[in-house]
Every structure is written in C-alpha cells, then in structure tokens.
Structure 1
Amino acid sequence: MISYLNIYAFCKVVKGKEKSVICDLHRGNIKFIPNEMYSILEELEVNSIGYILNKYTEEVDAINSYIDFVLKNNFGFISNEKEVFVEIENKFETPEIINNAIIEYGFEAYSLLKLVDNLNKLNTKFIELRLTKFSSNNLYELRKVLYYLSTSSVRNISILLPYDRDAHDSIVSLKEQYPIINKMVFYGFSEDVTEGDILYTTKNITQINGYNKENTIVNCIEFYYESLKYNTYYNKKISIDKAGNIKNCIKNDTVFGNVNTDNILDVISTKSFQELWTANNDKIIDVKHNPLRYNLMISNDLIKTGNNEYKIKW
C-alpha cells in the first residue's frame, strides 16, 4: 500500500546555510534538523515514502529516522494518499496605517495631545510613551491624554517614566483609572523589581532608547507570515523623539520630518520613510541564511548595501 508523509500546514520547514528548522506555529515548538533531512522532506512533499526509500537505498535508516522524528514531534502524519491542506490565511495584512508608535516626551517642544490625535486618525493600535521627565505638575496633562486615548483607536499604552517618590502613588493610581495602560516602567530606580505589570529598573532613558532586542525569537502564525514580506520591527512603526522629530525608531539617526512643521500622514506615506518596512530578513545579509530568519525580530538600525540588501548597524 502506498503511503505518504504529510506535514501539517502550521508546521513550516525552513532551510538555513548549515542547518534547517521545523517551526510548529500552532504549538510554538521549534526543532533544528540537518539540511539532508530538509531535502528529503522537500521530496516527500510530492512523492510517496516508498518511492523515496527505493530512490535512496543506501539512506533507508536515515530516511526512516527523519520520518520518525516528524511523527514523534507531531509535525505531521502518514496517510494512504497525499493530503492537500488549505494554506493558513496570511494574517500579516492589517488595516491600520500605523500599528505602533514610540513617543519620547518631555512636556515641551510639541503638543502630546495633538500628536496622539493624529495617531488616532491613522488607527494606531499600540503606543509606548517614554517620558524624559515627570513630576506632580505634569499629572493634569497626562490625564488629559489618557482620557482621550481611552476612547480612541489605541488598544493599549505602555508608559516609561523616571521614578519620582512624590509622584509615584499618583502615577500608579492612573493604571486603575485607565485600563488602556497595560504596563508601567519606572526607570532610574535603585534596583530591578517587577510587580506584575509595573516594572522598576536601574536603567536610564538613554540606555532604554539605545537598547536593541538581540536574538528575540517569536514563533507564531501572525509573526511568521508578516516576516515573509515585511520587517517585523519596522513595519507600520513610527517614533517621535523629544524634539518632535519623526523617525523609524528613536535610536536611529535619520529624521524624516517634525510634528511641529510636517503632516504625519504625508511623512509616513513617503517611499523613504516606508523603506525599512519591507526590509525583511531575507534582505538582511547578517541573517538571510539563518534558518530562524522568519522567527527573528531585529531592532537594530539597518544600512543599505546595494542590490536591495541591508546589513545590521551594531
């Protein structure tokens, strides 16, 4: 009886330069495999198990071990006919113009309320507000902004601010008043402490702004499909520094405009601003041969090298 090995649609086999991986996007399981196994699995996509065993008579034990590996890890199953799976819906296309925004604000230089109103018009879903300073005198303005955001397109907001003993309790109480706040980070604290979704860190704002999330691995369906076409860190992202400069990321040097003089929609609609949105990992020299390239989020600035490729700026 003819039998076939069927890999589940949510299990993706990705080839790298030295080794490959099988990523189970449903269960979050990742397993490294040799490139020889990748080649056999590729042939088993269209050929029966018997055909492959007869073709590679000297590799029977290895091929059987590959099949056992797939079955043991529940990456697939054997059947008497080749199953045709309906491809999982690509969920990387989202309707919002801007998905997430990082705002650095010092209660001067520009109007925060006007900025978030403009971001709301772009259907922005997530905001990270990095306050460069804060005291009790700034509570009124912050409350106004949070009140506005509570009825906007924004789903949640994270707030990072310097630790101030006098204003601390008032700030923490905002989280109860405005459920849209999903996380608070107090920087410049004496030690690193985590209390639920309230974090205290010894880092300062400069360290936070310059931080790169090295080796961040994500294994889920939405991330995978987005990474096939887009850069998962820069796609639909905007950052505003404390001077109101519009950037792809706070730590990047390139400035595309300023919120005081330029229309945000006009700026983000330019080809130059959106260039990094499509700089996916297949175009990044440092990782394009990494078998985990569709699971990696790279937050570094990127330098264009020609041939529509980039390298990571360290």
Structure 2
Amino acid sequence: MFSCCHFIKGANRSLLLDTQRDSYYLVPNSMPDFISSVSNLDLDHTLSEYDQGDYEIALQYVEFLIKNDLAFFCDSAEEAAAFLPISMAWQYPSEVTNAVIEVDNLVFIPAITHCIGTFFIPTLHVIFLCPVVNIDHLWNLIKPFNGLSNKSIQISFENKDQITVEHLTDFCYHHPKIELIIAFNSQIETSAKMFGCSLVFTKQKDFSKAACGSIQQEYFNTGLRHFTESIQHNTCLNRKISIDSEGNIKNCPSMVESYGKIWDTTILQAIEKPGFKNMWNISKDEIMVCKDCEFRHICTDCRAYLETPENPHSKPLKCGYNPYNNTWTDWSINPLKQQPIIYYGLNEL
C-alpha cells in the first residue's frame, strides 16, 4: 500500500484512511489482516495457497486497492523495500497551536490581545458572545485580533440577520488571515467558500461552553497532521489554551479549572502550572469505547463532557456513535446518558 494509506481497526469494521487525498473507506476487518500477511511477499504464490472462498475474497481486496489507487505492485521484494513508511511522529514548532477565546465584554479585548500577543499561537478561534449588530461592527471587533502575529483566525458570532453572505465576501477579501466564519442563530443553513475562507450559516442557537464537544461526522479530519497527532495526543486539548468570557485562562473554556486570569497571568505561566497539560496526552486509543472505534483517529474529542464524569478516560458524552453495531443515534435522548446530561446541566438548554 502507499505509505499515505493507513488502516484503523475497529470492533466491527476498519477504516482505510488516505491522508494524501483526504478521504477514507470503510472496509471489513479481514482486509488489514490480509494486507499485513501479504505485504512485500509474492502475491501470486501467497494466493495460490488459499482455498477457493478465501482466494476470491482476497482477490476482491486487491482489486479494490488497485482500483482506488491505494496500493501498487512491485517487481521484487527489494523494490518494495525501497518505499519507506511515513513517520508517525508528530511535532510542531510552537508550545501552543491554537486558542479559543470567548468575548462577551468588549472591555476585556485589550487585555485579551495583550495576553495572547506576547505568545505565538498559530490559530485563534474568537467566539463573540456579545451582540454583533452589523458588518461594520464586525470589522471593528476583529481589528485588534487581525493585528496579532498568528497565522489564521476563525470567528463565530450570533447573526442578527443583518449580515449576509455578500457582506462576508467583501469582509473575507480584506481579511486574508480569516479561514473560517460561523454565523450561528441564523435563519438559514448554508455554507460557502470565499477567498480561501469557509463561511457557515447555522441555525444552532447556543455557541456557549455547553454547545462544545459535539462529535459529528462533519467534523472528521482526514489530514496527516491530525492523524499523527491523534495517535499520540488528544486532538481537542493538546497544545490548546482558552480564555473564557470572564478572563480565565483554561485548557478549554468548558472546563472548570482556571489557571489564572488574563490580567495577572501570562500564557506561559498558565500552561506550566501543575495540571494544565494533564489531558494533552490522552489519546483515542486510551478512551473507553473510542479505542474500539474505526473513526477514532480522524475524530474530534471532548474531555469536558463525559459519559462517566468521574472517569477522565470516559467516552465523550455528546457522541451518538456505537462502534459495536456501527449506528449513529441522537445522544441527547439516549436513556443511558440522561444522568450525566443532568449532572452537567445540559438538560436546561
């Protein structure tokens, strides 16, 4: 197989991930077992030892891989050995890779930008919980963040239906750093791509802390960077910092623990405090149920809302997928989840 292709084995089936093409296939668990047994061997000789039933299945697997450009033939074992595997090491030249910032009080903005401006953070996600009246107001709100040294910005705001796709098209053109805009509580559900920026209008009403942690297929990430990070780290919390609406520095705005306030603690001081990095290395292979899921290394995660709140390795509460029967259901109406839903106060939303 090409080195950009990887199997993720689940309880009931496997996922074949192609990180180069950002795509995946759902396949039987017997396929990775077969590929492992024949890799770098004489295929004709190996298949000749199979009985008729297994031979036909194996041949279907080979045809599937070749047809989808996931594997290739070599003339010799020596030639095959020359194709080296991709390193699964994950590295990034920044102590923090992303920050989630809640803005509810505009008075806090100077303190927020000063706090994060002293530390290089490649990606910022700014959630405006305060009303955004019109497009001119949005221009003024984003200006302090646009001047920081980060590479990209994602913004979310409540749409009072004063802001349209046409407004945001011009906005994106003049703000090349912005890669994602989410307008929540909109009257419509639509999306678009403008000047390298993804625009999402959603009817979702609540974008506060209680709205985070949702596990959905739409959030799957099939890139190599996400895949390698997932093998070793937690893809939600690793190298993340957040500033909540009250100025608390946390690993995630939905978490209870605060490691200081933006006006008396630097980012570096916060992340070096005991406990801040505790969740960074909890990978999907260590999480209950997730470790048996074929989607685990392309999936997001959440440690703030858990099926078993006292267990840091519990399955995310807001995941409705069952890897043992391969079905998706609405997590919020699952009878087995009602107790933790009440525990977190999510039943009041």
Which residue of structure 2 aligns with residue 11 of structure 1? 5
The letter for the 1-side match of 2:154 is S
Please list every run of 5 or more consecutive structure 2 residues that lacks an aligned counterpart in the other structure: 319-349
State how far apart, in whole Å, the 2-side matches of 1:283 and 1:235 are. 15
Q: Report percent identity of matched pairs.
A: 19
- Closer, same or farther in 2 for the Cα pair 1:311/1:21, shift >3 Å? closer
More strand by share: 1
Deviation at 1:283, TM superposition (A): 1.0
Q: Is the 2:98–2:123 contact (alpha carbons within 8 Å) kept by the matching residues of 1?
A: yes
- Name the SS for the 1:157 alignment partner: strand
* Range with bigger deviation, 300-309 or 84-93: 300-309
1:76 aligned residue: 71
Please state how far the C-alpha of 1:193 moved relative to its aligned partner.
5.2
Report what 1:221 is aligned to. 224
What's 1:297 paired with? 300
> Cα–Cα, structure 1 residues 284 and 165, in superposed 2: closer, same or farther, change >3 Å?
closer
How far apart are residue 221 of structure 1 and its match?
A: 1.6
- For residues 251 and 44 of structure 1, what CA distance do their matches in structure 2 show? 47
CA gap of 1:278–1:66, structure 2 versus 1, over 3 A, is same
How far did residue 95 of structure 1 move?
0.9
Amino acid at match of 2:211: G
Normalised to the residue count of structure 1, the TM-score between the two structures is 0.80
Greater CA radius of gyration, 1 or 2? 1
In 2, Cα distance between the equivalents of 1:241 and 1:96? 22
Aligned ranges 1:99-118 → 2 under 5 Å: 99-107=97-105, 111-118=108-115
Q: Give the residue type in structure 1 aligned to 2:119.
A: L
For 1:188 and 1:68, locate their aligned partners in 2 and report how far apart those are by CA, in whole Å: 47
- Which residue is equivalent to 1:67? 62
Return closer, same or farther for 1:218/1:174 CA change in 2, 3 Å cut-off. Answer: closer
Given that 1:97 and 1:122 are in contact with CA atoms closer than 8 Å, whether structure 2 keeps it comes out as no
Give the distance between the partners of 2:27 and 2:186, measured in 1 at CA: 44
Give CA deviations for 1:244-273 in whole Å, capped at 9, x if unaligned. Answer: 122222223333332233332122123521
- Quick one: distance in 2 between partners of 1:305 and 1:132? 27
Question: Does residue 252 of structure 1 match 2:249?
Answer: no
Alignment of 1:203-222 (within 5 A): 203-206=204-207, 209-211=210-212, 212-215=214-217, 216-222=219-225
Letter in 2 for 1:203: Q
1:27 aligns with 2:21: yes
Alignment of 1:182-201 (within 5 A): 182-192=179-189, 194=191, 197-201=198-202
Q: How many residues align?
A: 304
Counterpart check, 1:160 vs 2:160: no
Matched, 1:129 2:126: yes
Q: How far apart, CA to CA, are the structure 1 residues paired with 2:105 and 2:312?
A: 40
Q: Give the Å deviation of 1:32.
A: 2.2
So what's the TM-score if we normalise by structure 2? 0.73
Q: Aligned partner of 1:282: which letter? A: D
1:106 shift after superposition: 2.0
Question: Structure 1 pair 96/214, CA: closer, same or farther in 2 (3 Å)?
Answer: same
1:230-253: CA deviations, max 9, x gaps? 122222111211111222222233
1:313 aligns with 2:314: no
Counterpart of 2:95, as a letter, is I
Deviation at 1:124, TM superposition (A): 0.5
Out of 267, 274, 279, the residue aligned to residue 277 of structure 2 is 274
Contact 1:132-1:205 at 8 Å conserved across structures: no
Task: Tell me what 1:4 maps to.
Answer: none
- Deviation string 1:149-171 (CA, Å, 9 cap, x unpaired) is 44432122233333457899xx9
C-alpha distance in 1 between matches for 2:191 and 2:295: 30
Amino acid at match of 2:85: E
Q: Is there any run of 5+ residues in structure 1 with no aligned partner, and where?
A: 1-6
State the alpha-carbon separation in 1 of the partners of residues 192 and 295 from structure 2.
33
1:140 to 1:117, Cα distance in 2 relative to 1, 3 A: farther
Conserved in 2, the CA contact under 8 Å of 1:305 and 1:311?
no
- Aligned residues of 2:7 and 2:17 also touching (Cα < 8 A): yes
